[in-house]
Structure 1
Amino acid sequence: MFSDLNAQKDGSSLLCCPTSDDQGPIFERASLSYIPLFERYRVGERSFSRQYAHIYAARLMQMRPLLAERAQQKWGPEVLIRKLCELQTGEQCCIVGTLFKRMDLQPSILKEISEEHNLLPQPARAKYISEADELILEDELQRIKLQGKIDRDKCVTGSVIAIYGAERNDGKFTVEDLCTADLPLQTARPTLSSDRFVLLASGLGLGSSHADSMLSLQLLVDMVTGQLGDQGEQSRSATISRVLLAGNLLSQCTQDKDASTKAKYLTKKTQAGSVDAIRLLDELLLQLVSSVPVDVMPGQYDPTNYTLPQQPLHSCMFPLSSVYPTLQLASNPYQANIDGVRFLGTSGQNVCDIQRYSSMDSHLQILEETLRLRHLAPTTPDTLGCYPFYQKDPFILEECPHVYFSGNAPTFESKLFKGADGQEVLLVTVPEFSSTQTVCLLNLRTLECEPISFAAFSANDDEESEMNISH
C-alpha cells in the first residue's frame, strides 16, 4: 500500500509501503522528469475590446509559408501561388486561404438574444450541416466560392488550406486538389529502460447523483494509491508515475439549470451546487497527490473561464490538496514533456465542436484531422469561444507531439498515426469516466495505451454492490 506520508517535497519520488505490522515488500513509485509547456496558453492582460478578425489574420500569416512549402512539395516547385486579387480566369494556380463555411442551420447570437423578448429559442441539434452549405475561401482582401473536388461536409470554418485549380467564368473557383499544412517536425522520443505509466482520466462528473460513478471513482483512487489488490497489483500501481485529469471534473448538474438554453454571455459559471462538488474534488485529490503527481485540467463545466484557452483552476479552491507540490493545476489545452515524451491535449471542447459542424463523427478521426491541419481548434472563434488573440494564434502546432489526446469522449479509442516525415503520434480519446467508468493507462516506453474499466454492478437491490476491474 502507498503511504500518504511519503510525498517528497519536490514531488519527484514517492514510496509505497505495507500498513500492517507484518514485514512486506516496499514498492518505490517510479519517478519521471516533468517539464510543463502550457505557458503559451496563459492569458496575461485580458482585453476583449479587440475584433476577432485579428486572430484569423494572424493565423493566415503564420500558416501561409507552411502551406506554400507543402503546395510546392505536392504540386511541384513551379506551381503558381496566387492571392485572390491576382486571380485570372482559367489560369491553373494555387491559393492559400482560410475556409469559411456558410451554414443555414448554424446558431446565431441574434437568435440567442431573442430569448430576452420571449421568442422561441432555436432547437438543439446534433449536427448543423445541410445540403445548402457553401464553402468560401478568403484571404486578407477578398473571398471566393469553391466547388469541385473538396468535401464540403468534412470541412470546418477556420481551417487554413492550400487549393489547386482555376477560377471559372461563373466567378467560382473549381478545386482540383487541396493540401493541408500537415504535421510539424518531431523531436525524437527517448528510449526508456523500464515501463512507466501515465494514467489519463476525464469527466469525473462530481456533483451528480450517480452512486455507481462515485464507487468506481473511489476504487480508481484506491488502485492508484496502492490500497487495492495483492502485491502484484500494488507493484503494478507503483509504475503509475503520473495522473492526468482532462477536464469536466464537475458534473453538468452543478451548472445553472438554464445554462443550456441561455445565451453564453448570460450564463453564470459558478453555482451553489458546484461548491460541494469542489470540496469533494479536493478530498479526492488529497488522496491522490499524497501518493502520485497529478495534473488537473479544467473543462466545460468547471469553475474557470468559458473561452479557450481555459486558465488553470485557482489553488484557493483546493485548501487540502494544494499544499502538496505534486498537484499541478494546468490549462486547457495542456502541453507538457513527461520523461521526454511530449504530451498535447484538450478537455474535448474542440473535438465536440468540430463534430457538430462537420460530417465527422469519430473523435479519433477529428484528432487526426486537426493534426493534418496543424491546428488544435480551427473552429475558434467562429463557433467555439476563444480569447481574441491578435498577434499570434497559440493553437497552431509548432512542434509535433508524441501523444495527442482529447477528453470526455463517448468511448476509448487509440491509434498510432504516422506522418509523412517519419513522425509517430499516439492519438487517444479519453472516455468520460462518469458514464463509462473507464480510464486509460499509457506506457511511456512503448507508447501503448489500454483502457481500465471500473464497472459497478449488483445482483439485486438487497445485496451489497460489488466492483469489477477489467484491463
Structure 2
Amino acid sequence: MFSDLSAQREGSSLLCRPASEGQGPVFERVQLAYTSRSERFGLGERNFNRQYAHIYAARLMQMSPLLAERAQQKWGADVCIQKLCDLKTGEQCCIVGTLFKHMELQPSILKEISEEHNLLPQPARDKYICDTDELILEDELQRIKLEGNIDKDKCVTGSVIAIYGAEKNDGKFTVEDFCTADLPLQKTRPTLDCDKFVLLASGLGLGSSNADSMLGLQLLVDMVTGQLGDQGEQSGAATVSRVLLVGNLLSQSTQEKEASTKAKYLTKKNQAGSVEAMRLLDELLHQLVASVPVDVMPGQYDPTNYTLPQQPLHRCMFPLSNVYPTLQLASNPYQADVDGVRFLGTSGQNVSDIHKYSSMESHLDILEATLRLRHLAPTAPDTLGCYPFYQKDPFIIEECPHVYFSGSAPSFDYRVLTGPEGQEVLLVTVPEFSSTQMACLINLRTLKCEPISFSAFSGDDDDESEMNISH
C-alpha cells in the first residue's frame, strides 16, 4: 500500500517502512518538482469577430527572422533574401514565406451545400491529396506557385519555410532547395539521482460499451495506486511520480454521429451518455489523485471548447476528485516542467489533421516534422479549428522540449531526435488506450520510454478469464 500524499514531504525519496501489525509495508511515492508552462494557451477575452488572416501574419512576422538566420547558415551569409514584390526573373535568391497547398479534394462548405441540394456527394477519404495539388508560397504582399525540388505531398498549408531558387519565364518559382526553422534552443536537462517515471495514457474512451477497456483501465489505476502485485512491484509503482491523461477521456460514442460536421442540440441520449462518462471519469480520478498527482488534458470528444487551444475541463465536473490539490486540469496543448524536464504535447488533433492532408503515414514522422517547423499546428486555422489570435501565434515552439508527445495515436512508438545544436528530444506517440489497452512510462532520469500493457482475455472453452500486465 502507499501512504497518502498529504502525509508526504516535498522532495522525499522512495522509502519502505514497516506498518502496524497485520499490514504490509507502506511505500512513499517519489515526489517531483512541477511547474506549469501552459499560460500562453489560455484564453482571456474571447472575441471571434476577428479575421483569421491575422494569425498567418503574426506567424510569418515571428518566424521570418528565424528562417532568415537558418537560410544564411545553410546557403551562406551573403545569400540574397528577397520579398516577392522585388523578385526578378532568373535571379537566384531566397524567399521566406508561408506555404499554401491548393487541394482539389479538400472538403469545403460549398461542397456540403451542394450535397444538400442532391448533387453528387463526395466520398469519405482517409487522405485528401492528389496529383493535381499545387504548392504556393505567400509573403506579406504576394504569392507565387512553386515547382522543382520540393515534395508537395509532404507539405501542408500554414508551414513557414525558406526556399532557394529562381523565378522562371512562366511565372513559377523553381525551388532548388528549402529549409525549415528546425529545432529551437534547449535548456540543459538536469541530472537526477534516481529513477522517476511519468505515466502517459490517452484515449480512455469512457462511455463506450467495451468492457475489456474498462477492465484494463481499472487495472492501470490499481497498478499506479499500489493495489496490484507483490512488494517489489508496489515499490516499483511508487516511482511513478505523475500521471498525464492525454485527451479523449470520453468515447466518440458519447457524441452524435454528425457532431463533427453539423451544428446540433444536446439530446437526452447523448447528454445522458456524457454525464455518465464524466461520473466514471471522476470516480477513476478520485482513486488516482489520492495517491499521485494527475494532469488531465481535454481532447476532441471531451466537454470543452472544440477549437485549439482547448481550455481545461471545468472543476465542477469532478465533485469527488476536485477536493484533492493533486488534480491538475490542463489545457491542450500542454506544456510543463517536471523535475526540470520540459514536456510539450497535444491530444493528437494536430497530428491527425496533417495525416489527412499530407502523404506522411507515421504519426511519429509528423510529430518530428512539426518540431522541425517549430510549430505545433501549422494546418490551423485552414483545416484545423483554432482561436483567431491576432497579435501572436501561441503555437510557435519557442523553446525545445525534452519530451514531445501526441495522444490518441493508432499505436505506441517513440524516437530520440537529435537537433543541429545538440538538442535531444524524446518523441512519443501515446496510443489510444480503449483500443490498445496500452499506456507508456517515461523515465525522467534517462528519458527512456517503454510501453505498459493491460490486457484481459477469455478462453474459448470455459468461463475463466486471465489478466496480464506487461512492461
What TM-score, normalized to structure 2? 0.96
Report what 1:247 is aligned to.
247
Report what 1:188 is aligned to.
188
- Partner of 1:141, secondary structure, is coil
Report what 1:320 is aligned to.
320
1:334–1:8 CA distance, 2 compared to 1 (3 A): farther
For the 8 Å contact 2:197–2:441, the answer to whether it is kept is yes
What letter matches 2:287 in structure 1?
Q
Report the Cα offset of residue 259 of structure 1: 2.0
Greater mean alpha carbon deviation, residues 9-18 or residues 245-254:
9-18
1:56–1:116 CA distance, 2 compared to 1 (3 A): same
Q: Does residue 235 of the first structure (1) align with residue 235 of the second (2)?
A: yes
Q: Deviations over 1:261-298 (max 9, x none)?
A: x33x5576973311000000000000000000000000
For the 8 Å contact 1:11–1:325, the answer to whether it is kept is no
Report the Cα offset of residue 464 of structure 1: 3.3
- Partner of 1:185, secondary structure, is coil
Q: Does residue 257 of the first structure (1) align with residue 263 of the second (2)?
A: no
- State how far apart, in whole Å, the 1-side matches of 2:118 and 2:328 are: 45
Q: Does residue 136 of the first structure (1) align with residue 136 of the second (2)?
A: yes
What letter matches 1:381 in structure 2?
P
Report what 1:7 is aligned to.
6
1:258–1:127 CA distance, 2 compared to 1 (3 A): same
Q: Deviations over 1:190-233 (max 9, x none)?
A: 00000000000000000000000000000000000000000010
1:196–1:148 CA distance, 2 compared to 1 (3 A): same
1:69-468 to structure 2, matched below 5 A, reads 69-114=69-114, 117=117, 121-260=121-260, 262-263=261-262, 265-266=263-264, 271-460=271-460, 462-468=462-468
1:144–1:6 CA distance, 2 compared to 1 (3 A): closer
- State how far apart, in whole Å, the 1-side matches of 2:198 and 2:132 are: 45
For the 8 Å contact 2:205–2:251, the answer to whether it is kept is yes
- State how far apart, in whole Å, the 1-side matches of 2:264 and 2:77 are: 52
What letter matches 2:361 in structure 1?
D
Report the Cα offset of residue 33 of structure 1: 0.2
- State how far apart, in whole Å, the 1-side matches of 2:180 and 2:186 are: 17
For the 8 Å contact 2:18–2:26, the answer to whether it is kept is yes
For the 8 Å contact 2:5–2:292, the answer to whether it is kept is no
Q: Deviations over 1:103-157 (max 9, x none)?
A: 0000002223445556665322100000000000001110000000000100000
For the 8 Å contact 1:246–1:297, the answer to whether it is kept is yes
What letter matches 1:332 in structure 2?
N
1:180–1:204 CA distance, 2 compared to 1 (3 A): same
- Partner of 1:272, secondary structure, is helix
Greater mean alpha carbon deviation, residues 195-204 or residues 103-112:
103-112
1:267–1:188 CA distance, 2 compared to 1 (3 A): farther
What is the aligned-residue identity percentage? 79
1:461–1:311 CA distance, 2 compared to 1 (3 A): farther
- State how far apart, in whole Å, the 2-side matches of 1:17 and 1:252 are: 45
Q: Deviations over 1:218-256 (max 9, x none)?
A: 000000000000001000000000000000000000001
Structure 2: tracts of 5 or more residues without a match: none
- State how far apart, in whole Å, the 1-side matches of 2:115 and 2:288 are: 44
Report the Cα offset of residue 94 of structure 1: 0.1
For the 8 Å contact 2:19–2:25, the answer to whether it is kept is no
For the 8 Å contact 2:8–2:28, the answer to whether it is kept is no
Report the Cα offset of residue 15 of structure 1: 8.7
Report the Cα offset of residue 18 of structure 1: 8.4
- State how far apart, in whole Å, the 2-side matches of 1:272 and 1:113 are: 31
For the 8 Å contact 1:165–1:176, the answer to whether it is kept is yes
| Cα root mean square deviation, aligned | 2.0
1:19–1:464 CA distance, 2 compared to 1 (3 A): farther
What TM-score, normalized to structure 1? 0.96
- Partner of 2:6, secondary structure, is coil
Report what 1:48 is aligned to.
48
Greater mean alpha carbon deviation, residues 132-141 or residues 460-469:
460-469
- State how far apart, in whole Å, the 2-side matches of 1:248 and 1:19 are: 39
1:219–1:183 CA distance, 2 compared to 1 (3 A): same
1:149–1:83 CA distance, 2 compared to 1 (3 A): same
- Partner of 2:56, secondary structure, is helix
1:222–1:461 CA distance, 2 compared to 1 (3 A): farther
For the 8 Å contact 1:9–1:325, the answer to whether it is kept is no
Report the Cα offset of residue 27 of structure 1: 1.2
Report the Cα offset of residue 24 of structure 1: 3.1
1:30-49 to structure 2, matched below 5 A, reads 30-49=30-49
Structure 1: tracts of 5 or more residues without a match: none
Report the Cα offset of residue 25 of structure 1: 2.4
